Every structure is written in C-alpha cells, then in structure tokens.
A and B are shown apart, each in its own frame.
Chain A
C-alpha cells in the first residue's frame, strides 16, 4: 500500500522560498505508470493543482497562475519528490498535499499525503 508523507517548514517569510518534500513509501517513485504532483488548498478555498512531474520522461508541468515561481523535482535515491516555490506571498499560504497521479486512471490522483500547512508571515 503506497503512502505519501509531506514535510517542510510550516512557516515561511514573505518573498522567501518555500520548500516541501514528499516521501514515497511502499512503492517505486520511478514507476512509469505514475506522475507525482502537488495540490494546495488555501483557507476557505477549493483545491488547486500546483505542479506535476513524470520521472520516466523528466517532464514537469506547472499551473500557469504560479508565473514560473515553482519547481518540482524527484530524488530517486531518497524516494521523494519536492516542490520549491519562490517569492512567496500571503496568497501562497495553504494546506499543501502531495499526490500520486495514475495514468491508468485517466490521470486522476489516487493516493494523497495527509497534507502540510504552510503559513506565510514575517
């Protein structure tokens, strides 16, 4: 049973860089059937896709609303993938989830981490 676990600082200062990591347990991060992604939920708002990566091809994809501030990457040696978000503002404060994206499931997100809350404040 695959499990995902987010980690990272819960507090980031405005204009600084947010760095989050998602550890993958019980499965292979290099499995060609899956993408890996980040989704966030701002307070009182709905779900917003942030970024996704396909290790097999190295392709990365980002929500255009982030205006090139985001970088997603995979570290196979640690079986984890990461999100970096530069120049954060208060609007980046959210509950961030990592998820597995299943190609066999029409690219639905079939496994999720429990989420990590990120606050942006000086």
Chain B
C-alpha cells in the first residue's frame, strides 16, 4: 500500500505569510494527487487536483506542485479564511488514501 505523509503536522503562521505544506508518497504516484481544505464543522473543500490544477472558484493564492513522490501546497499570502487543516489525497485504482493532515494555525 502507498502511504502519504504530510509535514509539518502543525504550522504556525501570520496573515500575509507564504505557507508551504509537503506531502510525500511512499512510492511514485505520478501526479495523482489532490489537496483539500477542512474547517471545523464543514465538509472538506477540493483545492487542487492532478497535483497542480486549481479547482474552479479556489483563490489563486493557492497552488500545488510536484510529481512522483514529493508534492507541495503553497499559500502565497495567508488570509484569515485560510486557517484550517489541509489534507493531501492520492488515488490509486481503486483506492483513495489521505495524508494525516496539516493544521495551519495562527
């Protein structure tokens, strides 16, 4: 089974900061990777698919990069609405695996 490992587990940042979250796969997954934002009491929200494709309606300050085993989610200028938990997710026919999450806190 492919394992997805995110780092850091928690990230402390301020408004306006550039934030980078890393997701590593235990073996190459090409670009079969998505990123989600999860806020308390709300459903996860798809941000990025295919490692770097921005979902419609997602602010352009979010970007994804990487391929193979290492991926990053970058928030170029952190806004108050961005404090949340972020999950990476890999699709491998036919199973879906999430990373353990990265909490972005003030």
List residues of chain A with CB within 8 A of the CB of B33: 106
Q: Mark B69-106, 1 if CB is under 8 A from A, else 0.
A: 00000000000000000010101001111111100000
From 94 to 121 in chain A, residues with beta carbon under 8 angstroms from any chain B beta carbon are: 97, 101-102, 105-110, 112-115
- The answer to whether A46 and B100 have CB atoms under 8 Å apart is yes
Given contacts A47-B101, A52-B96, A105-B49, contact A97 B43 (CB under 8 A): yes
- The answer to whether A49 and B43 have CB atoms under 8 Å apart is no
List residues of chain B with CB within 8 A of the CB of A16: none
A interface bracket (residues with beta carbon within 8 Å of B)? 20 to 34
List residues of chain B with CB within 8 A of the CB of A114: 42-43
- The answer to whether A108 and B89 have CB atoms under 8 Å apart is yes
Query: Is A63 interfacial (CB 8 A cutoff)?
Result: yes
- The answer to whether A105 and B46 have CB atoms under 8 Å apart is yes
Complex Cα–Cα for A59 and B94 (A): 10
List residues of chain B with CB within 8 A of the CB of A113: 43
Complex Cα–Cα for A105 and B91 (A): 11
- The answer to whether B43 and A112 have CB atoms under 8 Å apart is yes
- The answer to whether A106 and B87 have CB atoms under 8 Å apart is no
- The answer to whether A108 and B34 have CB atoms under 8 Å apart is yes
List residues of chain B with CB within 8 A of the CB of A39: 44, 96
List residues of chain A with CB within 8 A of the CB of B101: 46-47
- The answer to whether A49 and B34 have CB atoms under 8 Å apart is no
Complex Cα–Cα for A61 and B100 (A): 21
- The answer to whether B46 and A110 have CB atoms under 8 Å apart is yes
Which residues of B come within 8 Å of A, CB atoms?
A: 31-34, 36, 38, 42-46, 49-50, 53, 55, 87, 89, 91, 94-101
